[in-house]
Structure 1
Amino acid sequence: MLFKELLYLVALLPVGILAALDDKAKLANRTIDRTVSLRTHSIYPPYIDQDLQNRWWDFGGDAYVNTNKHIRLTRQVPSQAGWLWSRVPLTASNFVIEVEFKVNISGDNNHLFGDGLAVWVTKDRAQPGPVFGSKDQFEGLGIFLDTYANSRHPYAFPRITGMLGDGKTSYDQEHDGEQNSIGACSANYRRTNVATKLKITYLRDQYLNVKIHHKAWDEWTDCFTVRGLALPLAPYVGFSAMTGDVTDNHDIISVTTYSAILSSPDAQRDKLSGASGKRVSASGGGGGFFSWVLFFFSLIGKLFLAFIAFAIGVQIYRWWIMRQTNARIKAAFGPGGTYFQDAKRF
């Protein structure tokens, strides 16, 4: 009787294991093991060579280079637009882009400022237009550091907003990109006491994370995370800025791009943050309901396994008690003593 029950419980173990398979999938997440700097997509002072050019980058529009300080995309002058673009596409499947920038005005701090700065990871390059100095209906990723609100919002400005362009959809200029947003945060990166930086981490078709450095040294703040996002293959990296009736100095101090080397599927080092980020693709959509279904079955599987372990423990304990009792009876009555095989018969 005892062994039949044990065999029955053991036979049910695979059912509980199958119900909890999503936990195994979570443990299989790959993470960044190390990074390799990419000279082709990085730029630092003095920015240009003796021929007043850069082998890997182009700049144009109203942008100009101060070799000791920055690449100024726009000055504090109305109706300016400038850009900085990589000359070659970024072929790394997984990458990290860290850009140090500065947005400020000279003189009166009460002056109205705008319009903003954009970071691009797109299929096309160096095409001026109305979206922070670059073309509309772009294909790829645009991250907009917007300093001027065109309409009323419940959140504060400056605002960092991400948009995944499909080559057909226009940027929602009237509402500051609210209709196109895949993620956003408010961050006062103007006139800070520390270097202002933006860090973009992308794992192909899996993960996008944007962080901002503006509060204190070596303190990065998560802005937004998106899972399941796919960018065009071999995109260009670019930066652009624009002023309108309101103005600002928009400066790029440095750009550092890394190729991200992923760990093996079983390694669990340097876990990526933002596990609660939403899942989107170029056509939009989310996976909230499916995630809840997986969570429910995972919970049921865990409870089922716990019950099986408890039942097996109870059966083993009963078997051990019967064995000890039989041993005592045998010692008391001798080899001919009375035995019992089941506690219910005692």
Structure 2
Amino acid sequence: MGLTLLATTAVVVVSAVGDEDSVHPLRTHSIYMPYIDQDLQNRWFDFGGDALINTNKHIRLTSDIPSQTGYLWSRLPVTASSFQVEFEFKVEGKGDGLYGDGFAVWLTKDRAVMGPVFGNKDEFEGLGIFFDTYANSRQSHSFPYVMAMMGDGRTSYDSAHDGASNKLGGCESDFRGKAVPTKARITYHRDTGYLNLKLQTRGWDEWDECFTLSNIKLPTISYLGFTSVTGEVHDNHDIISVTTSTLSGKADTPFLVNDKTC
């Protein structure tokens, strides 16, 4: 793992609070600049693969060069029954035509095992949300595309068809190369199986719903992770901040909403 040390001034990030829940910050699953301590480590997260740390800017999972894999994983599982994960990210590169492949956010039973699914292992158990920027096959939707998959520990990700056979919900989202901060907000309530994803891509505090799912049951032991991979096509895939909070409140069981355009 390479480290780029440019600054040591901490920045306090205040997360927007959405929905009708009482939010309590969860420090063990949140990370901000400068990301690392004097020992070049983080108490709550592991970095690995080709990830680079710029202490005044971002955690770069993969750079805009071919054949990279990088990750950021929580050291402890998320044990709260209801929680929200809000993260700021940036995807950009020099490619005007072909670029990829994208990145993923995970809430899975296993952690920090690199593999072919956006940098993570295949046949995972838990939730993967894929921010896909490259089409491997012809689809009815455009790219970039954001989609969710629940893994049972046995089913492979359908990479050849961009996860078409695995998709529980998704949306088109123009999140690449934006001048405004791009963010995502995941909200989960175990008691109702409610899972919601909102995206900020058009302007500050302008949130668009990507999908809402019902009857989702994450593994009781679920680690929070971010991974990315590049191949012949590539991009910079950056995580700028992660704010995780526990929620006290109850979401009503929603109607299933599979596809939206953000």
Equivalence for 1:91: 79
What TM-score comes out, normalization by structure 1 length?
0.67
Equivalence for 1:125: 111
How many angstroms does 1:192 deviate by? Answer: 1.4
Alignment partner of 2:227: what SS?
strand
How many angstroms does 1:61 deviate by? Answer: 0.2
**How far does the alpha carbon of each residue in 1:75-130 deviate from its partner, in whole angstroms, 9 at most, with x for none?**
11101000000001111110000010000004xx5241100100000001000000
Equivalence for 1:158: 144
CA distance in 2, matches of 1:220, 1:134: 28
CA distance in 1, matches of 2:207, 2:257: 20
Equivalence for 1:315: none
Number of residue pairs aligned between Structure 1 and Structure 2: 239
Alignment partner of 1:174: what SS?
helix
How many angstroms does 1:275 deviate by? Answer: 3.5
How many angstroms does 1:32 deviate by? Answer: 4.4
Name the aligned partner's letter for residue 83 of structure 2.
F
Greater per-residue helix proportion: 1
Name the aligned partner's letter for residue 145 of structure 2.
R
Equivalence for 2:208: 221
For the 8 Å contact 2:211–2:257, the answer to whether it is kept is no
Alignment partner of 2:78: what SS?
coil
**How far does the alpha carbon of each residue in 1:187-239 deviate from its partner, in whole angstroms, 9 at most, with x for none?**
01011121101110000042000111001111100001101111100310000
CA distance in 2, matches of 1:84, 1:110: 27
2:195 paired with 1:208: yes
2:32 paired with 1:77: no
What percentage of residue pairs aligned between the two structures are identical? Answer: 58
Matches within 5 A, 1:157-196: 157-196=143-182
2:249 paired with 1:277: no
From 50, 54, 65, the counterpart of 2:53: 65
2:40 paired with 1:52: yes
CA distance in 2, matches of 1:92, 1:137: 24
- In our comparison, the structure showing a higher alpha carbon Rg is 1
Equivalence for 1:313: none
CA distance in 2, matches of 1:169, 1:67: 38
Name the aligned partner's letter for residue 144 of structure 1.
F
Name the aligned partner's letter for residue 176 of structure 1.
D
Equivalence for 2:26: 38
CA distance in 2, matches of 1:132, 1:187: 18
Alignment partner of 1:40: what SS?
helix
Q: Runs ≥4 in structure 1, deviation > 2 angstroms?
A: none
Name the aligned partner's letter for residue 155 of structure 1.
H
Name the aligned partner's letter for residue 231 of structure 1.
L
Equivalence for 2:223: 236
Q: What 5-or-longer segments of structure 1 have no aligned partner? A: 1-30, 264-270, 280-346
Alignment partner of 2:216: what SS?
coil
CA distance in 2, matches of 1:205, 1:118: 25
Equivalence for 2:93: 105
How many angstroms does 1:278 deviate by? Answer: 5.6
CA distance in 2, matches of 1:111, 1:179: 27
Name the aligned partner's letter for residue 241 of structure 2.
S
> Once structures 1 and 2 are overlaid, which stretch shifts more, 204-213 or 57-66?
204-213
From 158, 174, 185, the counterpart of 1:199: 185
Equivalence for 2:102: 116
CA distance in 1, matches of 2:242, 2:64: 22
How many angstroms does 1:277 deviate by? Answer: 1.8
Q: CA RMSD in A?
A: 1.6
CA distance in 2, matches of 1:66, 1:54: 13
Greater per-residue strand proportion: 2
Q: What 5-or-longer segments of structure 2 have no aligned partner? A: 1-18
What TM-score comes out, normalization by structure 2 length?
0.88
